[in-house]
Amino acid sequence: MNLMIFGAGFSGLAIARALGNECDFAGGTTRGPGRFGELRAAGLEPFIYEGGDPSPDLREALSRTTHLVMSIAPDSGGDPLLDAFADGLGAVMPKLEWIGYLSTVGVYGDHGGEWVNEDTVCRPVSERSVARLAAEQGWADLAEKAGVPLAVIRLSGIYGPGRNAIRTLRQGRARRLIKPGQVFNRIHVADIGGATALLARNRLGGIYNVSDDMPAPPQDVVEMAARLTGVAPPPETDFETADLSPMARSFYGENKRVSNARIKAAGYEFLYPDYESGLEGLLRDGI
C-alpha cells in the first residue's frame, strides 16, 4: 500500500498510525514545515500543500499512490483538490485503488433528536456542512469516472489525546451548557484511524458513519469528566442566554442520533464505543 493523506492533522495522523505497518510508503501534507516533525513521528513523509496544483515532489509521490485519504475541509472556494484533479484522478494517480473522504455527520442537518443513518436524506443547515455535502458529491463524481471505490467517512464530534473534556475541565474552560433534548454523538480519534484503516485495506466504498454508540447531552460528558478527575463540575449555563460564538451556537442547531450499524457490519469493532470508555482510557493514559 502506498498511502497519501491530504491534510495530515488530528484525524489524518491517527489514520497514518493505524495503517503504518501496512504501507510500503506513506506521505502526508501540511501547510508548512513547522509540523514536519509531527508527521515524521507518525510515519509520514511530509509534503507542503497550500492549495492549487500539487508541487512536483508531491506529484511524483502521487504517481505511486494506491490509497488516498482526503482530510482537508472545503473553504469558501470549495474543495481545493477538486479543481486540481479536474482532468481526472488517473492523470495524477494512475495506480490509485481506493479513496477515503473524511466528511461530517453535519451533512444530515437537524432531525429533532431522531436517529439517522447513511440512507437518511441530507439537509445540512450550516454553510460548512453544505460545503461538505457538495465536496462529497464532487469526490463521488471523480471516483466514478476513475473507476475507483470511494468511502465517504462521516465523523461525529472528534475527541482524543489533548482534545477532550478532561483537558478542558483541568484548564478551566469546560462549560455545562443546558439545552433540553439536545444530544450529540462523538468519536475517539483512534476509532477514526481504525475504521478508516479497515475500509482502506479492504478497498470498501460507500458512505459510513464513524460515530460512537452513545448519543448524549453535552453536559453529561462534562459531568463524567468531573467524576473521573474528582473535581466539581462547572455550573449549569442556559444555552439560550449563554455567550457563544456564532459557530459554537450553530452546532446546537443540529440535533440527531447517529447510527453506526453500517461500519460495524463492515467488520469494525470500536475501541471506544462510548464517551465513558473513551474518557476512562484518556485518563488512564494521562492524556
For residue 21, the 8-state DSSP code is G
Residue whose grid cell is 453544505 = 130
pLDDT tens for each residue of 10-45: 999 999 999 999 999 999 999 999 999 999 999 999
250 burial via Cβ count (<10 Å: 0-12, 13-18, 19+): middle
Whose CA is closest to 60, among 86, 90, 31, 93?
93
d(CA 23, CA 19): 7
Whose CA is closest to 42, among 69, 75, 76, 78?
69
pLDDT tens for each residue of 88-132: 999 999 999 999 999 999 999 999 999 999 999 999 989 999 999
Instruction: For residue 219, give Cα distances in angstroms to 112, 181, 212, 226, 279.
Output: 18, 12, 17, 11, 14
Structure-block grid coordinates of residue 197: 484503516
Share of the chain above pLDDT 70, in %: 100
Order of all β-strands in the sheet with 150-155: 45-48, 25-30, 2-6, 67-70, 98-104, 150-155, 206-210
Q: Coil, strand or helix: which one is 101? A: strand
Distance of CA 35 to the CA centre of its chain: 19
Structure-block grid coordinates of residue 236: 449549569
pLDDT tens for each residue of 173-185: 999 999 999 999 9
pLDDT tens for each residue of 221-255: 999 999 999 999 999 999 998 888 988 888 898 99
Secondary element (H or E) of residue 236:
strand 236-238
Average pLDDT estimate for 261-279:
98
Instruction: For residue 253, give Cα distances in angstroms to 49, 229, 240, 247.
Output: 33, 30, 12, 10
CB 69 within 8 A of CB 4: yes
Q: Please compute, for residue 166, the number of CA atoms within 13 A of its CA located in the half-sphere on the CB side.
A: 21
d(CA 161, CA 163): 6
Mean pLDDT of the chain: 96
